[in-house]
Structure 1
Amino acid sequence: MLNRIQAWRERGWSEIDAAAYAHAWQRFGGSVATHPLVIEQLADMAQIPVRYLGWQQNGEVKAAIPTWGRHVALSKDVLKRHGKKGLFDLGNAEIILPAASDAQAPLRHAVRYLSALSQGRFSGLKPQAEELAMARQPEDLSKKFRYNQRRELRLLEEAGGVVRPISDFSSAEIATMYCDLFLRRWEFPATGAERMAEVVERLRSLLIGLVVFLNDAPIAIQLVYRVEALEWVSVEYVNGGVDPQTRDFSPGSVLSFLNTQSAWEDARAHGKPLRFSFGRADREYKDRWCDRVTVFQV
């Protein structure tokens, strides 16, 4: 029975290897959560093997998906079922699966937060009730808003605040700063805190952004991952931590300003549009930075 269900779900698809999936991602594009390195490293950490599938037309792969059973790989539901809930945190990441723009590949594996870019690439998509928050272009933020961000940065620097690249620190240092500041900000532990240093180390080459310090102590940090596809740059802001005792300086807002501005400059230097996801549009502060966009599910 189980094999019949799998055969129904995979009809028209054929198994491919990790290299073929990586090639499809490089050719057709994707997002942070579907990047070959992210899939490989986090699936290895979870010890749940990935089955890669390709949709072929005229002997050529036109779409590819990484799967865990009936779900797209890295699914929170599958982690939970394996007793590994909260093993790692990618937030509610934007999902872009590699496919030719007109592939119309039938997608029957469960997945949420599928980008609107998936329309035409896949069939079987349903609009999702929740929306994603995608960072606005700098010029789409009001002049007053941008002025206030620069003013907050100036006040922080005048008080002795310093901004340092996250790449200056070891994976263990990043994990310690993040977990500590997250706990202070939210008063509960960060998802995946126990193995955060390992996750950071595994995805180290994709980590971007800055850390804000005051009096030699970290006061704001964000986990932001960046991947570059052929036609766009995908950035995922997973989560962040802030010292609430420094709220007067708005260090979290300053950091969002610096990280988004830097990402826009980088993408434009590469001549590509930027897809900077803040995850699910579920908090008021995201509306100040982002536009709400429709996403899809299967």
Structure 2
Amino acid sequence: MLSRLQFWRERGWTPISAADYAEAWSRFGGSVATHPDVVARLADLAGIPVRYLGWWVDGQLKAAMPTWGRHLALSKDVLKKRGQRGIFDLGNAEIILPIAQDARVQVQHSMGYVSELNAAQITSLREQPEGLALAREPEQYSKKFRYNQRREQRLLEEAGGVIRPMLELTAQEQARIYADLFQRRWGFEATGKEHLAEVFSRLREFMTGSLIYLNDEPVAIQVLYRVEAPQWVSLEYINGGVDPQQRDFSPGSVLSFVNTQSEWEHARALGKPLRYSFGRADREYKDRWCNRVPVYQV
């Protein structure tokens, strides 16, 4: 029996299968945090079943969403309440729900960082005080900025720096290096440290980007996940780590340059715009790389 509150929250929505949800995502698009496989694999890791809901118009599925109770699936709030806050980290990921362009839906489930792409489709949104940081297109950086980044990369490589693809490493190696460099950079442990290898293994097909070695030692790493929607590419920069003892060579900055340039090239080869999210627009360094865009919440 649906409770009265749940009945109110789900007005206009009906339960659908995981396959229906995946089909909606493949048609209407979405983001890393709403991708069917990302949702299913991380929800399985947390041991929390997903309730998929669909919005039908004249017998056609026009919108879909994965839920955990009154929250969007993979919600930090749900994990926190269950004492599982550290089981995985998606940062403050951009939320793009699979919704048809011409659909208008009411959403009463709690969610934040909802994309401007959904702003006209979800009638219950309100703008969040903080924005989202989306990487600028390469041409939007000044010539001086691009020159300095290439110069830093050249100096690093001349000093013995090597850039390697993340996927050359096993999930266990990725986890060990990320945990170590995160701790060095921030002075505290990475979220979900004990589950990192499992998360990286489950999300391996979505992982992208590179890491940097200097004198055969890793000095900079970034955790990036990428999914391809029909009309755009969605990429989340979750977090990173860098060896502060190597700051003379700016390996963190070099890695941001290498990763953003490479991902723009990839997206443009597909003929699709890139939504490369650095998460919440809350740090000065993000302003160097990103444009601030509005995000919304329910």
Q: TM-score, normalised by structure 2?
A: 0.99
CA distance in 2, matches of 1:212, 1:135: 20
2:138 equivalent in structure 1? 138
2:125 equivalent in structure 1? 125
2:58 equivalent in structure 1? 58
User: Following TM superposition, by how much is the alpha carbon of 1:121 offset from its aligned partner in structure 2, in angstroms?
Assistant: 1.9
User: Following TM superposition, by how much is the alpha carbon of 1:123 offset from its aligned partner in structure 2, in angstroms?
Assistant: 1.3
CA distance in 1, matches of 2:65, 2:283: 30
For 1:158-191, what per-residue CA distance to the aligned partner results, in whole angstroms no more than 9, with x for missing partners?
0000001111000000000000000000000001
CA contact (8 A) 1:128 1:297 kept: yes
For 1:116-172, what per-residue CA distance to the aligned partner results, in whole angstroms no more than 9, with x for missing partners?
011222110000011100000000000000000000000000000000111100000
CA distance in 2, matches of 1:118, 1:102: 11
CA distance in 1, matches of 2:41, 2:93: 16
Please say if 1:115 is aligned against 2:99. no
Question: Percent identity between the aligned chains?
Answer: 66
**Pairs within 5 Å for 1:243-258:** 243-258=243-258
CA distance in 1, matches of 2:87, 2:170: 20
CA contact (8 A) 1:102 1:120 kept: no
User: Following TM superposition, by how much is the alpha carbon of 1:102 offset from its aligned partner in structure 2, in angstroms?
Assistant: 2.1
CA distance in 2, matches of 1:97, 1:259: 26
* Structure 1 stretches of at least 4 aligned residues deviating more than 4 Å after TM superposition: none
User: Following TM superposition, by how much is the alpha carbon of 1:2 offset from its aligned partner in structure 2, in angstroms?
Assistant: 7.2
2:190 equivalent in structure 1? 190
CA distance in 2, matches of 1:169, 1:79: 29
**Pairs within 5 Å for 1:33-44:** 33-44=33-44
1:265 equivalent in structure 2? 265
Q: What is the letter of the counterpart of residue 30 of structure 1?
A: G
1:30 equivalent in structure 2? 30
CA distance in 2, matches of 1:279, 1:211: 20
1:201 equivalent in structure 2? 201
> What is the alpha-carbon root mean square deviation over aligned residues?
0.9
Q: What is the letter of the counterpart of residue 49 of structure 2?
A: P
1:229 equivalent in structure 2? 229
CA distance in 2, matches of 1:237, 1:98: 21
CA distance in 2, matches of 1:116, 1:215: 43
Q: SS state of the match for residue 30, structure 1?
A: coil
Q: SS state of the match for residue 3, structure 2?
A: helix
2:105 equivalent in structure 1? 105
Q: What is the letter of the counterpart of residue 249 of structure 1?
A: F
Q: TM-score, normalised by structure 1?
A: 0.99
Q: SS state of the match for residue 105, structure 1?
A: coil
Q: SS state of the match for residue 287, structure 2?
A: helix
Q: What is the letter of the counterpart of residue 4 of structure 1?
A: R
CA contact (8 A) 1:235 1:276 kept: yes
CA distance in 2, matches of 1:101, 1:87: 34
2:47 equivalent in structure 1? 47
Q: SS state of the match for residue 91, structure 2?
A: coil
CA distance in 2, matches of 1:6, 1:100: 24
1:93 equivalent in structure 2? 93
Which has the higher mean CA deviation after the structures are superposed, 121-130 or 170-179? 121-130
Q: SS state of the match for residue 74, structure 2?
A: coil
Q: What is the letter of the counterpart of residue 166 of structure 1?
A: M
CA distance in 2, matches of 1:275, 1:220: 23
CA contact (8 A) 1:32 1:236 kept: yes
**Pairs within 5 Å for 1:154-193:** 154-193=154-193
Please say if 1:277 is aligned against 2:277. yes
**Pairs within 5 Å for 1:64-75:** 64-75=64-75
CA distance in 2, matches of 1:167, 1:81: 34
